[in-house]
Amino acid sequence: MHKDPFEEYIRQGEASQYEKAKAWKTAIGLQAVDGLTPSAYLIDLAKKNIEGQMSLQALHTLLEHYYESYPHYEDRTAEADIVSLRMSELLLEKAFSFTPNEYLSIHRQLFTDIYAHAGSIRDYNITKKEWILAGDTVTYGSVSELGATLLYDIEQEKTFSYASLDMSETIRHLATFVARLWQIHVFGEGNTRTTAVFFIKYLRTLGFTVTNDMFANHAWYFRNSLVRANYQNLKLGVYRTTEYLECFLRNLLLDEDHVLSNRSMHIHSASLKIQEESIQYNDDGYTINMDTISEDAIVGYDTTSGNKTSLGSETVKEMHCHVENSSNTYEDNITSTDEFALIDRLTQHSIYNSTYVKVGVGDDCAVYDTPRDVDQLVSTDMMVEGIHFSESTTSPFDVGYRLGAANISDIAAMGGTPRHMVVSIAVPKGRHTSYVEEVYQGLHDICAEYRVNIIGGDTVSTEGAFVISATVFGDVPTNQSVLRSGAQDGDAVFITNYLGLSYVGLHSLLEGSEDYPVSRSIHQRPIPHVECGIIARDLGATSMNDISDGLSSELNEIAKASQVTIYIDESTLPIHPEVQAYCETHQMSPYLPMWTGGEDFQLVGTIPADKADRLPKEAFTIIGSVKAGSAQVLVERDGQWVTVEPKGYNHLSHD
């Protein structure tokens, strides 16, 4: 790791040196958001300024003369140096006006003579390929509304009162504000650096001290967290979230120690092994330096076509989707390791949203508070080796990930928000600690993604198979739980996204096929659809179930609980290309895995027909209707209504 050139001034310097060093460090570090690195020459000049040997005005003169004859202007080093100098000036200034004009002025001061449009609102629409979005782009502000949107967001923030908010709520609001400000993307270039300076100065007016290492050391994370706060793809189960930005701000403002990992923000992060240092940003987006990537790295896949995505301006060279397999060589047996030391390792960094946690792991009980005006939700799932998973198809990491997803999905099916989880494991004697740690890593990853705290559990040894059980706690607004028993005559029936992918994934793994990457990913690391559950709840869903045991079983559960007849139009079920391809190859109906395949963890439910059109079509499909009658599920085939039994109807396999 390179030595921090400003560390001695920050740690031991006089007050004036400390302030200057912090400003310079932040200014230079922020150039990373556009893949820029200031020169060693600028670092030397900065040190002289910090030590009082040279004024900022003198530095301007020296840089102007230096870059008149600099032979490699096109490598943007000049931009990095000049903008760093200007940014340090702005950060050292105390004056600030929370207005759109100030925002435009900051851009003008930073980029005059660098961009022709410095200080001007862009007059064209833009897109940018993003590595963390697997080549997709955020939808930026429309050119016709940029000025009005900027004014609106700043005016709304001006009139907002923080008086009744605790610190967590304050940080959440600040994250939302800066994410919206950045999403406008007022300028053609330089938006993130301008937003960062404006935001830092605004935070100071709120009483925060923000001249620390966060923007310097985590500039790329800051930008990527803004991207994730403004992107959603319901078909992929990816939703806008400020959780990453909140972690950054909690570290920045509260001196907490959340892990800030760029890779964790990738929309396919669970199946990527690309090193962060291999990713570089340029004008076209993020590209990958292939020389620094290990051979087992993989690319993201388009879940509609199954094709590899293009990252940045280049297409990644040919690679195969890598499926992690558990290793047979581990370091330590459970029996030879101190149990308490193992538990300490497993439960480290397990609080992802501390808002309601009073006491986590480490006491006889965890202690947590609850939001006001909510009902509590609780659900338990258990997985037994040899029954629910096998080593041939499921890595230790995926065991933990799948269990966490199954639990969280139960909360989603009630229209709720998951909050906390307790986990218990029974470990076969002689099983190695690395296996257990990988299981917990998978569990930690899914919990971190949905901000679910792991607050307790138990660990025991067993003579039998490996067993892991998790209990999840969540909440839902009072009296708004979406039950199976609420379906009513005249309701429409909906599902989310595609069905049958987990079935195809499992069977392709058992067959040793590598032809169905999306299906394998869905089977090994399923996506719980929390936001879809909340959307359906808020729009008035009358019943809901998550599809853990197959569509036929889940619909029958709703019909029985609600005492209604459910009619399904089979032709409306969306068929994923991989399901279609697999079933054609195996000479079966594509509806078989959709009806009988479990562990898709999509949602199925009912909603009043007059509200069905309000469900987002990107993620929801209407597949039938509800009528008063006996508890059953019927599907029309060959002009006749056929009863769908809880495990599917047999003749499907002969189509």
Q: Report percent pLDDT > 90 for the chain.
A: 41
H or E element in which residue 505 lies: helix 501-511
Angle at which helices 40-50 and 15-29 cross, to 10°: 160
More confident residue, 363 or 253: 253
Q: Please give the distance of CA 173 from its chain centroid, rounded to a whole number.
A: 18
For the stretch 130-158, pLDDT in tens is 888 888 899 898 887 888 889 988 998 98
3-class DSSP assignment, residue 482 = coil
Question: Cα separation of 195 and 178, whole Å?
Answer: 8
Residue 237 CB neighbours (<10 A): 22
Mean pLDDT of 431-452: 86
**Amino acid code (one letter) for 357:** V
- For Cα atoms 264, 270, 272, give the angle at the middle one, nearest 5 degrees: 85
User: pLDDT by residue (tens digit) across 248-289?
Assistant: 999 989 988 888 888 788 887 533 333 333 434 443 333 333
Spatial distance between the Cα atoms of 429 and 465, rounded to a whole number of angstroms:
9
CA distance 172 to 170: 5
Give tens-digit pLDDT for 492-531: 999 999 999 999 999 999 999 888 988 988 898 898 998 8
Long-range pairs, 577-583, Cβ under 8 A, ≥24:
577/304, 577/305, 577/306, 578/306, 578/501, 578/504, 578/516, 578/518, 578/519, 579/498, 579/499, 579/500, 579/501, 579/503, 579/504, 579/519, 581/515, 581/516, 582/504, 582/507, 582/508, 582/515, 582/516, 582/519
Taking residues 174-195, report their average pLDDT: 93
pLDDT in tens, 594-624: 999 888 999 999 999 999 999 988 889 999 9
Question: d(Cα 637, Cα 289) in Å, to the nearest integer?
Answer: 53
User: What per-residue confidence (pLDDT) applies to 432?
Assistant: 79
Q: CA nearest 561: which of 496, 615, 626?
A: 626
Structure tokens at 192: 């993130």
Rounded CA separation 646/557 (Å): 8
**pLDDT value of residue 105:** 95
Amino acid type, 383: M
What is the pTM assigned to this prediction?
0.53
Classify 89 in phi/psi space as left (phi over 0), alpha (psi -120 to 50) or beta: alpha
